[in-house]
Structure 1
Amino acid sequence: MRDRRVVITGMEVLAPGGVGTGEFWKLLSEGRTATRSITFFDPAPFRSRVAAEIDFDPYAHGLTPHQVRRMDRAAQLAVVAARGAVADSGLEIETLDPYRVGVTIGTAVGSTMSLDQDYRVVSDGGRLDLVDLEYADPHFYNYFVPSSFAAEVARTVGAQGPSGVVSAGCTSGLDAVGYAVELIREGTADVMVAGATDAPISPITMACFDAIKATTPRHDDPEHASRPFDGTRNGFVLGEGAAVFVLEELTAARRRGAHVYAEIAGYATRSNAYHMTGLRPDGVEMAEAIRVALDEARMDGTEIDYINAHGSGTKQNDRHETAAFKKSLGDHAYRTPVSSIKSMVGHSLGAIGSIEIAASALAMEHNVVPPTANLHTPDPECDLDYVPLTARDQLTDAVLTVGSGFGGFQSAMVLARPERKVP
């Protein structure tokens, strides 16, 4: 069973700057940014007042009033993305054995927006030490358990196989898809609907990141606030979004004539066992995750045509992963284009890993490497080819995408064209 090859046959992306995979790719390929001043609440009291918000109307995307009332915004994004991914795949899930169809959804912070709003209600604006649950939303419990995300998606697509949520901070979107791939490889499932979602743009989230000065205070220029690998960067821009995929075994996909975006050829995750938020400058843990992912893909580092970086826009992260790329790819790292789409769509925490998988697959689909926007003043300690400002046409057969998360998590995934010869 371990020789089963897993491919992406459907996807949908809801990201800042455009709802839908087509609008998402258009934004990236044009090098436009979707970061702006926060509109969801009054950001005046906060150090960082910018974010990458989605112009998302759940009713316009077919959700009912009951669903909107029941689900947090992050769950709404996941459900709409799952519907789109299944439609894109052309797979008639209702004709399959429902116990062989599973769901995995990644999230870092769960129902943050609903919890924030409800806490303000039950605490009377923070004035009550002992909250009054009489005023709580009737669906308050669902907000406390992120497993409700997977339950909502499973209900939407009719999946009765393995179902769960992966929450590993900012690598959740990679890890949820990686876990889904393993379930297909081991024979537990034939089809997985997998991806990630987060909608964290709320006062409590902004306050938390303000406290550790992780987010940028560049609120006077929100459009250019996210600056990965740039010497003038001063923190990341919070975002939101969701990306969901239909994954299935390659032979089955070919048998039904499905369009295949990419094969997920290798995946690995490691922990630095070092610090909750700190990173070792040598990037050794990320390099190890990359090495194992390449080994699983049966590929050499010289076969990587593009690296979709974590590229959060903090000095610590950018230098850490630059070192990891050099350690894992050697001299080939200097010949490989690297870019961060967070420069355009912000950092949507647990969702971003799946959104970046989508960007990597689309880069292969179109043979275009998306740029790192706002990169005008390169950091001399980040000396690789970060594709500044403008997308680049390039034949792309294999992509490495990586993630780094609080808690010391480091994940790597290799996407490749399924036509490649596997040793």
Structure 2
Amino acid sequence: MIVIRARRAVVDGAEGPAAVLVSGERIQAVLPYDTPLDAPDDTEDVILADDEVLLPGLVDTHVHVNEPGRTEWEGFATATRAAAAGGVTTIVDMPLNSLPPTVDVAALQTKRAAADGQCAVDVGFWGGAVPGNAGELAKLHAEGVFGVKCFLLDSGVPEFPPLDADGLRAALSAVAEYDGLLIAHAEDGEAVRPASGRRYADFVASRPPEAEDGAIAMLLRLARETGARVHVVHLSAASALPQLAAARAGGLPVSVETCPHYLALTAEEVPDGDTRFKCCPPVREAANRDALWQGLADGVIDMVVSDHSPSPPELKHLDTGDFGAAWGGIASLQVGLPVVWTEARRRGHRLAEVVEWMAHAPAARVGLARKGRIAAGADADLVVFAPDAPYTVGELHHRHPVTPYAGRELTGVVRRTWLRGAPADGVPRGRLLRRGEDR
């Protein structure tokens, strides 16, 4: 047994003192801080320092691990070590950019085999919806994926092509039949223009907010038509918030995520030629960032997840600084919590709100009932976080430490992490999760 006493712990959406009893892999009880206990002699007593807060392990439902097939980009061993170091105890892996992509049961089995025995945190999987595989989606659901992802424009890899309106309708109809979840990269390819060169302003202009607005409008329309549950990944354009709010107010089962880079970075600060900042959709202007924060505060945006999408340095074309040629993805799995917390506290948000956005809400959306909260019966995934400690982004456990956050001065340090009651110290003891298994 472990007894963790914290003067500050985030429990049930509030911060206060608590004693958390851990027995085996689960939280046995959450008690007042000073509760006397008649515990076994071998009980480990952990008392947090006054500057530390006990948090539930974060849940990141948007991670591109890329293994098998592109393990030189990232792999389960490196990605999950980075996650553990950043206080993330559960990830859900995207169906691309691995080879094969996770678009049928055979590919899912291949991916699980590649991950088995390598993971330092618990790992679940998304399936993929691509042209012609609507008949595979129910099979993937039965095999335990947490939902299926589609692209509404070129994904950047040829083996994961986008859905047109008819293909999206077919996928949504299939998903609705078994009450699954479809998640969408929502940009309209017809509104996106080719980009090239070193000027970041040109790249942003090539992927205007209208591209997201139009694709989201189509997704919402077809979701109403089919009755499917849908989720918008990595929202960048705040201009889409009114239609998303209206859809939810009208009863449509839609949820929305954004990412640390859209909340912390701005187009104005991106140096020309610094392709570490390239992602799709792009980091936009400061006013747009402020509006995304308002969307979080208003509850239109439900959660914050990383969209960790690394690549080898050569694919970033750091030598030429060509935003058109560079791979579009930001590596941030290890640093998401301090990135978001630094900006959140500056805006007057509470740490408990960050926990809601980065732990509880993602877990709830994919049905991981034992994750993302400190409560009796939950998995003992716990994080010791020093929210006032300075942190300079330095050594990273990602396979390639190429990130726009390198050297950035932040606030908040992850000092200790437990995965199901044991130290999450990089040892590969993570489990491969299936939808519905932890109810």
Q: TM-score, normalised by structure 2?
A: 0.30
Q: TM-score, normalised by structure 1?
A: 0.31
In terms of fraction of residues, the more helix-rich structure is: 1
